[in-house]
Amino acid sequence: ASAVEIRNVNKFYGPFQALKDVDLSVPAGKVTCLIGPSGSGKSTLLRCINFLEEYDSGEIRIDGRLIGYDAPGRKMSGRALREMRRSIGMVFQQFNLWPHMSARENVAEGLIRVRGLSKTEAGARAAEALAKVGLADKMDNHPSRLSGGQQQRVAIARAIAMEPRLMLFDEPTSALDPELVGEVLTVMKTLAAEGMTMVVVTHEMGFAAHVADRVAFMERGELVAADTPDRILHQP
């Protein structure tokens, strides 16, 4: 079954066409990597999946349901969109943590505000999520007292604590010093092994080659190929 079906999607920034007739099926429980040169539309496509960017035509379905529109040309309500986004976690290049909160408070905040959990329940679930990304002993640290790799793991914990059905990653390791990339990729591999459906924009070819089930290659707004990593990357 496909978790995400992208059909004939077009996206313009003014006169510039950033996505051209993009078709892609993202299988449930698998890792799909989006690769390609800078400016080829990877981030735009990823952001269209949760409607952070509006697409102009075509369809994107999450578990069969159209996102962003109730019907062609008719946008869905903000409430309906928020409801759909609850099942989608996103991790950005920048970690976007609140500097005045501990790691645990950063993870708990969404559970309290969006899910309506009590402070105690949210704190317990935040602790679990942080343990899962290997930060059980750093829960009380503020972001300024965490490395970039640890901050990104907090951002991943914040997303998984919401129990998403789909996780989107936009160059999650690009802002990290090289020696910190591995710890974030390890956490992502663990999620993949647990059967999380993941779409990952990345320049990490090792990750694409060894962890992805499917690799989609983009160029100038077009999705030029999508296949198994060995067929796309010609690994020996």
The 8-class DSSP code of residue 76 comes to P
Choices 35-43, 115-123, 205-213, 224-232; region in contact with ligand ADP by CB under 6 A: 35-43
Place of tokens 């019907």: 71
Least separation, in Å, of the C-beta of 46 and ligand ADP? 8
32's tokens:
């799909």
* String of contacts with ligand ADP for each residue 90-109, x by CB under 6 A: ---x----------------
> Is residue 13 close enough to count as binding ligand ADP by CB under 6 A?
yes
Three-state DSSP class for residue 224: strand
Least separation, in Å, of the C-beta of 205 and ligand ADP? 15
Which one of 3, 9, 18, 191 is in contact with ligand ADP (CB under 6 A)? Answer: 18
Choices 40-48, 133-141, 160-168, 204-212; region in contact with ligand ADP by CB under 6 A: 40-48
> Is residue 152 close enough to count as binding ligand ADP by CB under 6 A?
no
| Residue 211 amino acid letter | V
The 8-class DSSP code of residue 156 comes to H
Answer yes or no: are the C-beta atoms of 102 and 140 closer than 8 Å.
Answer: yes
Q: Binding-site residue total for ligand ADP (CB under 6 A)?
A: 12
Which one of 4, 31, 44, 155 is in contact with ligand ADP (CB under 6 A)? Answer: 44
Give burial (CB, 10 Å; 0-12/13-18/19+) of 165.
Answer: middle
Which one of 43, 50, 102, 173 is in contact with ligand ADP (CB under 6 A)? Answer: 43
Instruction: Give the Cα separation of 134 and 191 in Å (integer).
Output: 13
Instruction: Give the Cα separation of 12 and 45 in Å (integer).
Output: 12
| Residue 29 amino acid letter | G
Q: Which residues bind ligand ADP (CB under 6 A)?
A: 13, 16, 18, 36, 38-44, 93
